Structure 1
Amino acid sequence: MTKAEVAAMLKGQVPELAGVPPAQLDWLAEQGTLETYADGAKNFSRGEEIVALTVVLQGGLSIFIPQAGGVKHLGVFEKGEITGLLPYSRMKAAVGDAYAAGETVLLRLPREKFPEMIASQPELTTALVHVMMDRIRDFTRQQQQDDKIMALGKLSAGLAHELNNPSAAVVRNAHELKRHFSMGPERLKAVIKICVSDEVVDHVNGLVLFKARHGNAHGLSMMARSEREDALADWLERNGLDHSAEAAATFADFDFIEEDLESLRSLLRPADIPPVIQWMNQVLITERLVNEIQEASRRINTLVSSIKSYTHMDQAPVKERVDIHAGIQTTLTLLNHKVKHNQIQLKLEFEEGLPAANIFVGPMNQVWTNLIDNAVDAMEGRTGNILEIRTQRSRESILVYIIDNGPGIPADIQDKIFEPFFTTKPVGKGTGMGLEVVRQIITQHAGRLEMKSVPGRTEFSICFPIG
């Protein structure tokens, strides 16, 4: 391909250079060098220094970046598109790997030529600066979207983990309840054959219902509970009940003692005691299973309410006056599996009477998620972990502190952590946009984000107006 052919392609097939005078495009064709790549050949690697402006004249460049432990196809720079180093760009290294898409021809202008271009080719320089601005905007938008998806991915994993136990409990107890009720007809037959006075019926009903509502043996030590179960099992066995150990465990759960059962001996014939005890046991088991289903359902409802609250981020960006503590608690609920997995002690010091703040609820939930998740990750694999979250009012502003006792952020990178695409996490665990997103959201709220870190203590503080 001759220089004249290259210049012709620049003039007719590169939309971003449409307004550039032909003479300046001739200069670009003359000063640049051509490189040819076979289909699938690697053009550059992640982390490699970017040293030249690149115009795709034929074929394309497929870009791949690491994400979530794998590789994501970011897109293709096709024929007529511009990539690589641009005037005034601070880009130093490639964020991904590039491979030729088909037989590919590139025009490359080394950065050593940039001073001459800036001095003598003003329209060309301006066009390339516009390319840079568009690239930053598009790439930042994509990375922010990826960061949101990663955040939601972490929360969905946590939600699935948290939902597993209560949903399994509902299924298990519903199955047990069905099995339990299948034995009801035979037990009912035995009970209705008993002829007793209304006073006896009232006594038995009153005893079992009182224990069902108020009986609780949680305060007993393991030894005391074991001794009580043994005593109840002995009494039940002496009074003709089969499977006495199983029934004894149920009666012990509801704080029955031997004297409670002994009160039945003076009211019932010996032959009537087993069916009455079995009926009482059935009532108590039903009560226990229903209570467990109710508690598991309440837990599921709490989790669903939390995720519905969190997903304000998908609603229109309208400020709402809300209690920020609710958003923080919601985030902690959704990240609870990670907190427990890392054996982290939570210390919450929320100022009472803190006024509701006028905020964008969804974006602010993203702030809590990024900062708390970062703190949890920092303490991974360590012992004695403490996550402290404090809130307080300062005149017409709200202060939030998120503090962890992890290893701290090294002093030599502390001034870089808010830069886009900078991350200390392993490949696939972070996009480098989390803190940049946090900073943008806090700025959107006319607030301030600060960080202090020494070994053993990292503190992020957020200050924003009540509004």
Structure 2
Amino acid sequence: MKGINANWLQTIDALKAVPVEQLEWFIENSQIRALEADALLFKPNTPVDATYIVYSGKVSMYVLQNSEAREFALAGPGAINGYLPFSRGKINFGYGRAMENTLLLSFPIEKINEMICTHLELTEAMVHVMTSRVREFTTRQQQDEKMMALGKLSAGLAHELNNPAAAMLRNARTMGKYLTAARDDFRDIMNLNIDPEVIDKVSEFMNKLMSERLNLPISLKAHTLLEDELITWLSARHIRSAGPLAETLADFRISGNDLAGLTIDLPEVSVEKILHWAMNHLLTESKLSDIVYASQRIVELVGSVKIYTHMDQSQDKQYTDIREGIRNTLTMLRHKIVQNQISVSEEFEPGLPPVNAMPGELNQVWTNLIDNSIDALADIRPGNLKISSYQEADHVIICFSDNGKGISPDIVNDIFEPFFTTKDIKNGSGLGLDVVKRIIRLHGGSIHVESVPGNTLFKVRIPING
């Protein structure tokens, strides 16, 4: 074809420095392929038989995950794909489909060795294309996996933060009502002219309740019996709103005998007003305590996020406690763990040494392994996840085991391959375990899997001084 010539090839950045005679040789030994829209250029498990340069049109490269297409590259005019010198990829793992009518220059794989031996600059250019492609593909893999992990974590974290935040708002609004009622009660009490010694006695009693009984546990049966007792005591003295008052007093483990001791020196006319003031005061203290607890929970969650992501810290290797990373990962995934009713047990060897590693990268490992176990236990009752660690010579061993359905022997050797997944495309990218394996190898470690129905074990080895 007239337009496909050495001058056109030199408009491609990767080939612009290649001598014209080498580009002419490349064209002479190539074929022009025309693909109609939607035609397949290649499909999975077929040999990679040529180097392709797109002249016009577009080719989408994708894999199928549970019958849904996941595109990993789109090749337009000037794109170089297919087999490249010294590439170890000899088999296509995905599909290549023309998105529109497409013209390609196809250089056969049988001519690669001749090119390597006789055309140095052309070979160097093609090798550079290959290394750039690997680098871009790896970066995209990491980014895709990080974004998917971020989506999972943010959903769980939003739920975890929403609960204490909503509780704080709810309790703050309720406190406003109690404080308004307390002002009215205080005005009524001031008009009673009660002896200062009696006021001191009531105040001492309230302080004792706050310090000794606030948030103490009580069984439903004990609470019901106590509430019935209080209703009887209050009704006998014609105290208004005996039911709600009894319920509140029972929450603070106040008995009829407590009330008898509190009111023995009070004028009868003041008992009702004092008790209603006490109820509002107790409820206000209770709501304040709930707000403090919810605030602490938010602070803990934010702290876990900061540690998990290692914000404001160097991305280089540093000695880090893997137990802290795993526990913060569990905090990030807590919502999903609770939602699936999974019991998590930790068995960390005392005195486990810190490892020289990139904490943020290791957290990706823990996230993927724990998240996979959670998914495997989604329909298992009871679901159990056990995480253990111990030192073995100059390595730290971290084990993740669950009692899920297990991994089929037919696919156990494929689970670390990129884009391989048994999950729905919305729940799995097929990159998680590939990322896990690469990060562990980056640290000089290894990962091993054993699986039978009811017991799946992932064993990670990380060198202490990696």
1:447 is aligned to 2:445: yes
Report the 3-state secondary structure (helix = DSSP H, G, I; strand = E; otherwise coil) of the residue aligned with 1:13.
Answer: coil
Report the counterpart of residue 99 of structure 2 in structure 1: 100
Residues 43, 96 of structure 2: 8 Å contact kept: yes
Residues 323, 357 of structure 1: 8 Å contact kept: yes
Amino acid at match of 2:244: E
CA deviation digits over 1:241-277, x for unaligned, max 9? Answer: 2212111111111110100001134211111001110
Report the counterpart of residue 32 of structure 2 in structure 1: 33
Match of 1:143 among 122, 141, 144: 141
CA shift, 1:342, in A, is: 1.5
Report the counterpart of residue 386 of structure 2 in structure 1: 388
Amino acid at match of 1:404: D
Report the counterpart of residue 408 of structure 1 in structure 2: 406
Report the counterpart of residue 371 of structure 1 in structure 2: 369
Question: What are the residue-to-residue correspondences of 1:238-253 with 2, within 5 Å?
Answer: 238-253=236-251
Q: Distance in 2 between matches of 1:248 and 1:179?
A: 19
CA shift, 1:306, in A, is: 0.7
Residues 83, 109 of structure 2: 8 Å contact kept: no
Report the 3-state secondary structure (helix = DSSP H, G, I; strand = E; otherwise coil) of the residue aligned with 2:52.
Answer: strand
Q: Distance in 2 between matches of 1:116 and 1:315?
A: 50
Report the counterpart of residue 235 of structure 1 in structure 2: 233
Match of 1:115 among 107, 110, 114: 110
In percent, how many aligned pairs have the same letter? Answer: 36
Amino acid at match of 2:464: I
Report the 3-state secondary structure (helix = DSSP H, G, I; strand = E; otherwise coil) of the residue aligned with 1:451.
Answer: strand
Alpha-carbon spacing, 1:210–1:154, altered in 2? closer, same or farther (3 Å): same
Alpha-carbon spacing, 1:163–1:27, altered in 2? closer, same or farther (3 Å): closer
Amino acid at match of 1:118: N
1:295 is aligned to 2:289: no
CA shift, 1:236, in A, is: 1.9
Alpha-carbon spacing, 1:255–1:373, altered in 2? closer, same or farther (3 Å): same
Q: Can you give the 5+ residue segments of structure 2 that lack an aligned partner in the other structure? A: none
Q: Distance in 2 between matches of 1:229 and 1:6?
A: 91
1:22 is aligned to 2:17: no
Alpha-carbon spacing, 1:321–1:27, altered in 2? closer, same or farther (3 Å): closer
Range that drifts further, 24-33 or 256-265: 24-33
Report the 3-state secondary structure (helix = DSSP H, G, I; strand = E; otherwise coil) of the residue aligned with 1:412.
Answer: coil
CA shift, 1:195, in A, is: 2.3
Q: Distance in 2 between matches of 1:194 and 1:185?
A: 15
CA deviation digits over 1:350-371, x for unaligned, max 9? Answer: 1222233332111111111111
1:433 is aligned to 2:431: yes
Residues 63, 93 of structure 2: 8 Å contact kept: no
Range that drifts further, 163-172 or 21-30: 21-30
Report the 3-state secondary structure (helix = DSSP H, G, I; strand = E; otherwise coil) of the residue aligned with 1:6.
Answer: coil
Range that drifts further, 398-407 or 65-74: 65-74
Question: What is the TM-score of this pair, normalised by structure 1?
Answer: 0.89
Report the counterpart of residue 285 of structure 1 in structure 2: 283
Report the counterpart of residue 317 of structure 2 in structure 1: 319
Q: Can you give the 5+ residue segments of structure 1 that lack an aligned partner in the other structure? A: none
Residues 42, 92 of structure 2: 8 Å contact kept: no
CA deviation digits over 1:58-94, x for unaligned, max 9? Answer: 2433556789998777564232221234454426335
Residues 11, 22 of structure 1: 8 Å contact kept: no
* Paired residues, number: 459
Q: Distance in 1 between matches of 2:143 and 2:43?
A: 21
Alpha-carbon spacing, 1:411–1:318, altered in 2? closer, same or farther (3 Å): same
CA shift, 1:14, in A, is: 3.3
Question: What are the residue-to-residue correspondences of 1:194-205 with 2, within 5 Å?
Answer: 194-205=192-203
Residues 396, 466 of structure 1: 8 Å contact kept: yes
Q: Distance in 2 between matches of 1:337 and 1:46?
A: 40
Report the 3-state secondary structure (helix = DSSP H, G, I; strand = E; otherwise coil) of the residue aligned with 2:308.
Answer: helix
Residues 367, 438 of structure 1: 8 Å contact kept: yes
Q: Distance in 1 between matches of 2:185 and 2:381?
A: 54
CA shift, 1:423, in A, is: 2.7
Runs of 4+ displaced beyond 6 Å: 64-73
Residues 6, 29 of structure 1: 8 Å contact kept: no
Amino acid at match of 2:245: A
Report the counterpart of residue 169 of structure 1 in structure 2: 167
Match of 1:183 among 181, 184, 187: 181
Report the counterpart of residue 90 of structure 1 in structure 2: 89
Match of 1:417 among 395, 415, 418: 415
Alpha-carbon spacing, 1:52–1:462, altered in 2? closer, same or farther (3 Å): same
CA shift, 1:135, in A, is: 1.3
Report the 3-state secondary structure (helix = DSSP H, G, I; strand = E; otherwise coil) of the residue aligned with 1:411.
Answer: coil
Report the 3-state secondary structure (helix = DSSP H, G, I; strand = E; otherwise coil) of the residue aligned with 2:193.
Answer: coil
Q: Distance in 2 between matches of 1:365 and 1:96?
A: 33
CA shift, 1:447, in A, is: 2.3
1:273 is aligned to 2:268: no
Report the 3-state secondary structure (helix = DSSP H, G, I; strand = E; otherwise coil) of the residue aligned with 1:345.
Answer: strand
Match of 1:77 among 67, 75, 80: 75
CA deviation digits over 1:80-137, x for unaligned, max 9? Answer: 2212344544263354664536x6422234xxx3224424664355543442332122
Question: What is the TM-score of this pair, normalised by structure 2?
Answer: 0.89
Report the 3-state secondary structure (helix = DSSP H, G, I; strand = E; otherwise coil) of the residue aligned with 1:246.
Answer: helix
Q: Distance in 2 between matches of 1:48 and 1:202?
A: 87
